[in-house]
Structure 1
């Protein structure tokens, strides 16, 4: 038997979760709470095998809720009920020690499968989680990279744009009245600041960030 604790603000939604779990004949709901304070109080007297949190109805995307629970129990697996709207927080949820996600539009069998995975000591992150997380991380990387332009000096930005136009060291030096060696030095500084290794990557960075 797997003992479950549920944190859910809406009784109707909670009833749906309970119904699915109880129908398996393998789960027992040891307690349920609508508030984090009540949940933590009940957690003192009960030791569930798995904690289910409906993150959609929590304040601050559930971050503080997860932190408070993790302070009380660092090992009990946590399963979050999420929606795709929360994909920007998937990375943080995982870093806080969440062990699995179930989407609110999932079939009942997905919840049962998630419970079995966590009970067996495995994590449960459906393919859709990784797809959404990958998209978020790629966007995050591009945005972070875009901010790097702020650390380039005006001279470096000018040189970067000239490289994008296909000018050589010598031609850039002539245009800016500096030596090719100085151009090369500026290029190395640019590459270090934006974390690229080649001219091609440098030019690609410029086009991605509209600096050409």
Structure 2
């Protein structure tokens, strides 16, 4: 994805924090536009706007008077492929589990180092998935325990599809997966589409979470940067 054509949204109650993130996004990506929202109502208006084509949202999980999970559901109902990075003031196991179950693309603690944040931003934009910046492994194990996916049959996956799930969890790009498996990028994308259907996943994050929940990949393999 060419970031110069992308449109980002920063959702946070504090203008100074939004300014800092906006400057960082401009520095890293030089996107087409960066919108700001200070509350759930303004974010909802952006999402529902027919003229809005949004690619990435950085969403404060502690937005006053808002249900962050409902905001994620709303955004994805209008923009299914929207990438969402949750921003948290501090580690909260319950909220993290709810968000991981919704296949958000990353979680960042606001106390994280700027370099850590840059790594997460680049990974999400380039590869679609990154859990990092101080999020403990227990979150992944908790999601595995609490949210079983009934009706999904691991046996439906071929050996090659399982290989690709493992490589996706390691944050390999389509080209990298193709090189490792000696197949073309187009063939990799074909497998990815089949995996999405077989695992009932909507995006890369969903594929990785399916892999964790079904013990195809280990928890440690999806933690890109600590």
Q: Unpaired runs of 5+ in structure 2? A: 147-226
Q: Does 1:47 align with 2:86?
A: no
| 1:30 and 1:46 in contact (8 A); partners too | no
Q: Does 1:15 align with 2:22?
A: no
Cα distance, 1:131–1:68 mapped onto 2, change above 3 Å: same
Give the Å deviation of 1:14: 0.7
Give the alignment's TM-score, normalised by structure 2: 0.54
Match of 1:210 in 2: none
Give the Å deviation of 1:127: 6.9
Q: Does 1:131 align with 2:107?
A: no
Match of 2:119 in 1: 113
Match of 1:196 in 2: none
Give the Å deviation of 1:120: 1.5
1:34-183 → structure 2 map (5 Å cutoff): 34-43=38-47, 44=49, 45-59=51-65, 62-126=68-132, 128-133=134-139
Match of 2:166 in 1: none
Give the Å deviation of 1:58: 4.4
Match of 1:178 in 2: none
| 1:77 and 1:98 in contact (8 A); partners too | yes
Q: C-alpha separation between the residues in 1 aligned to 2:133 and 2:120?
A: 13
Cα distance, 1:107–1:28 mapped onto 2, change above 3 Å: farther
Q: Unpaired runs of 5+ in structure 1? A: 141-212
Aligned residues: 140
Cα distance, 1:4–1:137 mapped onto 2, change above 3 Å: closer
Say which SS state the counterpart of residue 88 (structure 1) adopts. helix
Task: Tell me which of the two structures has the higher relative contact order, counting C-alpha pairs closer than 8 angstroms and 6 or more residues apart.
Answer: 2
Give the alignment's TM-score, normalised by structure 1: 0.57
Say which SS state the counterpart of residue 7 (structure 2) adopts. strand
Q: C-alpha separation between the residues in 2 aligned to 1:88 and 1:109?
A: 27
Task: Provide Cα deviations, 1:36-80, integer angstroms capped at 9, x if missing partner.
Answer: 222222232221221110112344652222222222222111011
Give the Å deviation of 1:129: 2.1
Let me know the Cα RMSD of the aligned residues.
2.6
| 2:106 and 2:129 in contact (8 A); partners too | yes
Deviates more, 1:42-51 or 1:19-28: 19-28
Q: C-alpha separation between the residues in 2 aligned to 1:136 and 1:14?
A: 31
The 4+ residue runs of structure 1 with deviation greater than 6 A are 137-140
| 2:89 and 2:109 in contact (8 A); partners too | yes
Give the Å deviation of 1:84: 3.7
Say which SS state the counterpart of residue 51 (structure 1) adopts. strand
Give the Å deviation of 1:30: 2.9
